[in-house]
Amino acid sequence: MLLPGYDVTKAAQAVAYLALKAGGKINVLKLSKLLYLAEREFMSLYDEPMFFDRLVSMPDGPVVSITLNLINGNAEDEVWQQYVAPRQGYDVAATKEFSADDFEDLSLADREVLDNLWAKFGGFDKYKLRDWTHKKENIPEWEDPSGSSYSISHAKVFESLGKDDAGELVRQIEERRIIAQKLASM
C-alpha cells in the first residue's frame, strides 16, 4: 500500500514528463535526484511537498522513496502503469508520447518547478547530479547513511529551507495524511 496522502498520479506524470524532456527515457539515478529536488523545491516555494512522498537519505543521495519503489518495480499501481513503462536496466521511460494535456494532474506550479529543475540540471549526467546532492551547501538535510538508509523528516527539510514555521507545516502534512487515510477507508 502507498502512504496515505501520497499523490501517485502526480508522481507518475512527473516521471513521464521528465522522461520526455530527456528524449523519451531517463537514467534512474538522475531521475531520482530530480524528483527529490522537485519535492524539496515545491516545499520551498509552496510550503508543502509536490507528491507527499517519504524522503530518505541513501548512499547515492536523497530520494523520494515511494516513487523510487514504483520506478524499481517494488510496488505496483494501475495509475502508475498508465504513464511509466517498466524499468529497463538503468533507464525508465514514459509509456507513450504524451501531450501537455495528458498531464492534467501537474499544475502550472508543478510544471514550472520541473521545467526550472530541468533547465538547471538537465545537462548534468547522473554522477554529477548525485555528487551535487551530496554537498551540504546544496542539500543540508542529506546524511551519508554508510551503505544503509535514513529517513529525512519533512521538518528537517523545512528547517534546511529556513522555514520558521516548520512545525506547523509538518502538522498540515500529517493532517492531509490522516484525511487521506479516512477517505481511503470509506
- pLDDT of 38-66, one tens digit each? 999 999 999 999 999 999 999 999 999 99
Predicted confidence at residue 92, as pLDDT, reads 98
Count Cβ atoms below 10 Å from residue 174 Cβ, excluding itself: 12
Strands 150-152 and 55-58, by their bridges, are antiparallel
Q: Which residues of the chain have pLDDT under 70?
A: 1
Instruction: Give 166's contacts (C-beta < 8 A, 6+ positions apart).
Output: 155, 158, 159
Predicted confidence at residue 14, as pLDDT, reads 98
pLDDT tens track for 82-97 = 999 999 999 999 999 9
Predicted confidence at residue 113, as pLDDT, reads 98
Predicted confidence at residue 183, as pLDDT, reads 86
3-state secondary structure of 73: coil
pTM (2 d.p.):
0.95
Predicted confidence at residue 1, as pLDDT, reads 54
Q: Report domain extents, the chain.
A: 8-184
Q: Where are the beta strands (DSSP E) in 40-116?
A: 55-58, 61-64, 91-93
Distance CA 158, CA 48 (A): 9
Beta bridge partners of 93: 25
